Amino acid sequence: MTRERDFADPRIPNRDECVLRYLLDRWADERTDKAHIVFADGEEWTFGELQKMVRAKAAGLRELGIKQGEHVAVWLPNGREALIAFYAINYIGAVFVPFNTAYRGNLLEHVIANSGARFLLVHPDLIPRLSEVDLAALERLVVTSGTQPASAPLPMTPFESVSGAEDDYLPLDHPIEPWDIQSIIYTSGTTGPSKGVLSSYLHMFSNAGPESWPMVGEDDRYMCVAPIFHIGGMGPPFVMLARGASVAMIDNFSTDEFWSVAKATKSTMVFLLGVMATFLLKAEPGPGDRDHTVKKAFMVPLTGDAPAFTERFGVDIYTIFNMTEISSPVVSEANPTKIGTCGKVRDGVEVRLVDRNDCEVAIGEIGEMLVRTDRPWAMNSGYNANPEATAEAWRNGWFHTGDAFRRDEDGYFYFVDRVKDAIRRRGENISSFEVEADVCSHPTVREAAAIAVPSEYSEDEVMVVVAPVPGQTIDPRALAEFLIDTMPYFMVPRYIRVLDELPKTPSAKVMKAELRTEGITADTWDREAAGLRVRRESFSA
Strands 423-425 and 428-430: antiparallel
User: Is residue 226 assigned to a domain?
Assistant: no
| Mean predicted confidence (pLDDT) in 406-415 | 96
Q: Is 405 helix (H, G, I), strand (E, B) or coil?
A: strand
Identify whether residues 439 and 343 lie together within a single domain. no
Identify whether residues 66 and 160 lie together within a single domain. yes
Identify whether residues 312 and 408 lie together within a single domain. yes
CA–CA separation, 367 vs 353, rounded Å? 5
Contact 154, 135 (CB under 8 A): yes
Identify whether residues 385 and 435 lie together within a single domain. no
CA–CA separation, 385 vs 247, rounded Å? 33
Q: What would the pLDDT profile of 470-512 be if each residue is shown by its tens digit? A: 999 999 999 999 999 888 788 899 999 999 999 986 556 788 8
Identify whether residues 58 and 150 lie together within a single domain. yes
- For the domain that residue 498 is a member of, what is the CATH number? 3.30.300.30
Query: What are the distances in angstroms from CA 216 to CA 50, 298, 325, 452?
Result: 22, 11, 21, 39
User: Is residue 195 assigned to a domain?
Assistant: no
User: Is residue 16 assigned to a domain?
Assistant: no
CA–CA separation, 298 vs 388, rounded Å? 34
The full DSSP string for 220-289 is -EEEE-S-TTSHHHHHHHHHHHHTT-EEEE-SS--TTTHHHHHHHTT--EEEEETTHHHHHHHSPP-GGG
Q: What rounded mean pLDDT belongs to the chain?
A: 92
Identify whether residues 147 and 31 lie together within a single domain. yes
Q: What would the pLDDT profile of 55-84 be if each residue is shown by its tens digit? A: 999 999 999 999 999 999 999 999 999 999
Contact 298, 270 (CB under 8 A): yes
Q: Which helix (DSSP H) or strand (DSSP E) does residue 353 occupy?
A: strand 349-354
User: Is residue 149 assigned to a domain?
Assistant: yes
Contact 320, 329 (CB under 8 A): no
> Structural domain of residue 487, as residue ranges?
422-526
CA–CA separation, 473 vs 467, rounded Å? 9
Binned at pLDDT 50, 70 and 90, residue 538 comes out as very low
Number of domains in the chain: 3
| Contacting residues for 315 by C-beta, under 8 A, at least 6 apart | 294, 295, 296, 297, 309
Residue 541 has pLDDT above 50, yes or no: no
Contact 255, 225 (CB under 8 A): no
Identify whether residues 406 and 477 lie together within a single domain. no
User: Is residue 319 assigned to a domain?
Assistant: yes
Final residue of a structural domain among 418, 450, 476: 418
User: Is residue 129 assigned to a domain?
Assistant: yes
CA–CA separation, 515 vs 465, rounded Å? 8
| Mean predicted confidence (pLDDT) in 417-439 | 80
Of 106-115, 357-366, 519-528, the least confident: 106-115
Residue 363 has pLDDT above 90, yes or no: yes
What is the DSSP code (8-state) at residue 504? Answer: B
| Contacting residues for 231 by C-beta, under 8 A, at least 6 apart | 185, 207, 323, 324
Final residue of a structural domain among 418, 439, 462: 418
Final residue of a structural domain among 418, 434, 452: 418
Identify whether residues 428 and 453 lie together within a single domain. yes
Identify whether residues 437 and 502 lie together within a single domain. yes
For the whole model, what pTM was predicted?
Answer: 0.85
Residue 433 pLDDT: 79
Residue 304 has pLDDT above 90, yes or no: no
User: Is residue 14 assigned to a domain?
Assistant: no
| Contacting residues for 335 by C-beta, under 8 A, at least 6 apart | 306, 307, 310, 316, 317
- For the domain that residue 391 is a member of, what is the CATH number? 3.40.50.12780
Identify whether residues 60 and 112 lie together within a single domain. yes
Identify whether residues 272 and 305 lie together within a single domain. yes
Q: What would the pLDDT profile of 159-196 be if each residue is shown by its tens digit? A: 999 999 876 657 899 999 999 999 999 986 544 568 99
Cα torsion 354, 360, 366, 372 to 10°: value is 50
Strands 495-498 and 525-526: antiparallel
- For the domain that residue 83 is a member of, what is the CATH number? 3.40.50.980
Identify whether residues 404 and 277 lie together within a single domain. yes
User: Is residue 317 assigned to a domain?
Assistant: yes
Residue 506 pLDDT: 53
**Residue 100, Cβ neighbours under 10 Å: how many?**
22
